[in-house]
Amino acid sequence: MDEAALIRGAVGRRQFIRGAWCVGLGALGVMGRPGARGLVAIGQAEAAQDVREIVLEARQVKWELAPGRSITALAYNGRVPGPEIRFKEGERVRVVLKNALGEPTTIHWHGVDVPNPMDGMPGITQKPVPPGGTFVYEFEARPAGTRWYHTHFQGQRQMDLGLVAPLIIEPAGSDPFPFDREYTLVLDDWATGAGPALPSTREGTAGGRGEMGGMMSGMRGRGMMGGGMMGRGMGGMMGGGSQAMPAYDTMSINGKAYPATEPLRVRKGERLRLRLINASADHTHLIRLAGHQLRVTHTDGNPLVEAVAVDAVPIAPSERYDVLVAADRPGAWWLYCAQPGHAAAGEKVLFTYERREGRKPEPVTEGVGGLRLWHYTLGQGRDVLPAASGSVRSFSQTLSGGMMGSDAWTINGKQYPSTDPIAVKRGERVRVRLGNMSMEAHPMHLHGQSFAVLAVNGQRLAQPLVKDSVDVEAHMGAVDIEFAAHNPGDWFFHCHKPMHMEGGMITLVRIAG
Ligand code: C2O
Ligand code: CU
């Protein structure tokens, strides 16, 4: 699709917004966005209406990842990723999902503390929305931060095909880390069949153990993984049982693979904020901006006490990092993933200073030799979680599976729905020790509330990080988390790699209200 067609598409989408104005971010005081393209920004509500309503239509589209690389994708409002939605913290919002797909779907609001019936879990919190059907999600937008939304029906297939998008909740008060310009970058992996498969990132990195050794040698024997295992009949709810791991061959930034990625522009002297969202099914990315340090300010949208300067940020599936960049090195640079093969598979974007547009950047360097990498133990989270009032409850979960090429993944030896729920009462302080006995990392995500990361691989954090997804490294990696059970209901707690989720690595956190 060419630029003009995209812009026409964006204009056409305005009709989807009712009871609200579609405005460019300029009007919201955020500078320098490349227009309102593909963006649903919610301006002021019309007279006296205090619920913002937007409409998202899920539909099959033809999507061009790069010239000559078009795929049949599933999209929200015609775009991959879907439109960025922005709300103000505390705002009442209503999102009307219209299902124009030939199959059921739902939306999950990842990292948002929605009431349980709004969580988008087919079979648990709602019936799947049938083809031609509509579902109305209503919730208060909180907490502030870089969140995202995605399908939770047949996650492996529908997420892989594009039903993912950013959701930014702007703080009600002032932002602890001011900036002049911002970009949201959604990272994704694609199996198009058009190139050689990239190695899976198997061992994880986020805890910083082993300095990426595992990540760099993460080739997995896909050939041995063939689809011979039997489905377990989670059917419509989870996605129809087992299948071979797709051969991911293309990496995208905001739905485009280089050379189709849209350049990021800055002006010398600006403070730039990047919101990195990893929507990939299987890959941990390692984001660098050549010539610049990245100052990590938020983990999964939640602020740190102070920014942590690093050279590169590993980001596991479903994680988000916000980073600040001081634009002080005029020229042209690559922003890219340093994982072997990823930049070549499309995961790079030109980063140019104003009036330096014509320059050619230095080629990208793969790998992490000599680089200072972000890992969990470097950060100090702010204490933004609700406080617990009740007693302390402790649980332990052993993550295993995947042995001998099996696609069964377990928690305490059981596959969902046979896993034992973490059953607690509202207000209790819940501690969970996650121990990984398998040979792959598991980015574990809790619905309905964020948690504090207390310790990683036995090392206590000086000040717990606040997250909603935490990567538990392969080979005996361990993470201790804690949360106040403040949001009643049955909540999914699962590995965010859809293959592992569908293989059974899910439990419920059941909070009696
Ligand atoms: Cu990103 Cu179960 O979710
Ligand atoms: Cu997993």
| Interval 395-406: pLDDT, tens | 999 999 998 888
Nearest Cα residue to 155 out of 218, 110, 95: 110
pLDDT at 369: 85
Ligand 1 in reach of 416 Cβ (< 6 A): no
Q: What is the pLDDT of residues 329-369, one digit of tens each?
A: 999 999 999 999 999 999 999 999 998 777 789 999 988 88
Angle CA(189)–CA(226)–CA(101) in degrees, nearest 5? 50
pLDDT at 214: 39
pLDDT at 355: 86
Residues 6+ apart with CB under 8 A from 261: 252, 253, 254, 346, 348, 349, 350
CB 475 within 8 A of CB 436: yes
Per the document, the length of the chain is 513
pLDDT at 194: 84
Query: Ligand 1: which atom is nearest the Cα of residue 148?
Result: 1
Say yes or no to pLDDT of 7 above 80. no
pLDDT at 367: 86
Q: Which ligand is nearest to the CA of 150?
A: 1
pLDDT at 49: 55
State whether residue 427 is helix, strand or coil. coil
CB 493 within 8 A of CB 509: yes
Tell me the pLDDT of the chain averaged across its residues.
85
b/e string for 46-58 if b means 16 or more Cβ within 10 A?
Answer: eeeeeebbbbbbb
pLDDT at 207: 55
- State in Å: Cα 467 to ligand 1 middle: 13
**Alpha-carbon distance 464 to 506, whole Å?**
24
Helix then strand count (H, E) for the chain reads 5, 32
Nearest Cα residue to 65 out of 175, 191, 233, 219: 191
- State in Å: Cα 442 to ligand 2 middle: 4
Phi, psi of 109 (to 5 degrees): -100, 90
457 versus 34: which is more confidently predicted?
A: 457
Average pLDDT over residues 118-136: 97
Phi, psi of 212 (to 5 degrees): 75, 5
For residue 18 the two structure tokens come to 């009712």
Secondary structure element (H or E) that encloses residue 213, with its range: helix 213-216
DSSP-derived letter for residue 435 is: E
- State in Å: Cα 378 to ligand 1 middle: 25
Ligand 1 in reach of 500 Cβ (< 6 A): no
Q: Which ligand is nearest to the CA of 280?
A: 1
* Cα–Cα distance list, 53 to 82, 126, 140 (Å): 16, 20, 12
Q: Which ligand is nearest to the CA of 434?
A: 2
pLDDT at 309: 98
For residue 152 the two structure tokens come to 């939770």
CB 399 within 8 A of CB 475: no
DSSP-derived letter for residue 376 is: G
Instruction: Look at 174-188, 197-211, 314-328 and tell me which has the smallest mean pLDDT.
Output: 197-211
Return the residue whose CA atom lies nearest to atom 1 of ligand 1: 110
- State in Å: Cα 445 to ligand 1 middle: 6
Say yes or no to pLDDT of 154 above 60. yes
Average pLDDT over residues 248-276: 97
Nearest Cα residue to 55 out of 109, 93, 17, 92: 17
Nearest Cα residue to 443 out of 349, 350, 320: 320
Ligand 1 in reach of 492 Cβ (< 6 A): yes
Q: How many CB atoms lie within 10 A of CB 340?
A: 18
Say yes or no to pLDDT of 33 above 80. no
- State in Å: Cα 108 to ligand 1 middle: 7
**Alpha-carbon distance 121 to 506, whole Å?**
13
Residue recorded with tokens 């990426």: 212
Say yes or no to pLDDT of 64 above 80. yes
Query: Ligand 1: which atom is nearest the Cα of residue 494?
Result: 2
Ligand 1 in reach of 125 Cβ (< 6 A): no
Q: What is the pLDDT of residues 202-239, one digit of tens each?
A: 776 655 554 343 343 333 322 222 222 222 223 333 33
